[in-house]
Amino acid sequence: MSAIVMDAGTQGLVVSPDRALDRASLQLANALLGNAAEAPGLEILVGGLRLRFVTGSAIAVSGAEGMVRLNGSELPQNKALRVAPGAVVEFGRAHFGIRYYLAIQGGIVPQPDVLRTGRTLAFGRPHGQGFPTVGLPARRALDSERPVVARVAPGPDAQDYDAGTWLRLTKEPWILSPESDRVGARLAGRPLSSATPGDHQPGPPRSRQLVTGSVLLPPSGFPVIALADHPATSASPVIATVRDEDLDALGQARPGQMVHLLG
């Protein structure tokens, strides 16, 4: 069972739900098809991807909102539907959010690299005649005119900074930098002091174990939120940690969008 990448678009990756930047959207798309919870799907950045199905299957699209077409007609999102052999699915530019998620019944066979034009995607066989009833709510993409709100708790190095630094981190607005990627959400604004207060002299940099959602404070003073492809460790202090349930919203934030970290 396969499909051909006719146009790879900006960036497309085969990811498992635990590596998706918007995990809930891929989980919903899989659930709509009756796939296993861990079934890989496609994460499509911004849009531009075109797929031609060599064999028939069933698909579901969630995440970002934009014009997605099946054989030239608008394809409804957050809904499972069947596609015939030869069908073409096209992802237009996302208007809300930034990452589409495409699940194919049976799951997509993992690939190590970003999609390239002409590449073949393999996936499992469709099963059954109907689709399961899903209790998960339909996903609504973020309005880029509204701020993304992410709740944070103090990180392991928060005690090294004074109350004013924490207040500024959690009260002042931040802007998502265009340099953000799957490794980290990089925030721009008025930089924080990366030095510890008073006469305390910090020792040599400590290598910290990172978890997704760690808020790092590098020497630049601009916070970086560790995302799915973050390194295992970092020498930068971890001043805060984003609540797990708020990470999906960060994965759909657009460069230039305002971000509020609420303590």
Kindly give, in sequence order, each residue whose CB lies less than 8 Å from that of residue 238, ignoring residues fewer than 6 positions away: 155, 156, 157, 208, 210, 214, 215, 216, 217
d(CA 169, CA 166): 5
Q: Which pair of tokens denotes residue 230?
A: 């973050």
The owner of tokens 């994460």 is 43
Tell me what pLDDT residue 201 has.
Answer: 47
Q: Are 41 and 102 within 8 A, CB to CB?
A: yes
Give the 3-state secondary structure of residue 244: helix
Contact assessment for residue 125 and residue 106, using Cβ atoms and an 8 Å cutoff: yes
One-letter amino acid for residue 14 of the chain = V
Helix (H/G/I), strand (E/B), else coil: 31: helix
pTM confidence score: 0.92
> What pLDDT is recorded for position 134?
82
pLDDT given for residue 194 in this prediction:
65
Q: What are the average pLDDT values for consecutive 10-residue runs of the chain, which has 263 residues?
A: 96 96 96 94 97 96 96 95 96 96 96 94 83 77 89 95 95 97 97 64 69 96 97 95 96 96 95
Q: How many C-beta neighbours within 10 Å does residue 258 have?
A: 16
Sign of CA dihedral 33, 117, 91, 252: positive
| pLDDT score for 168 | 96
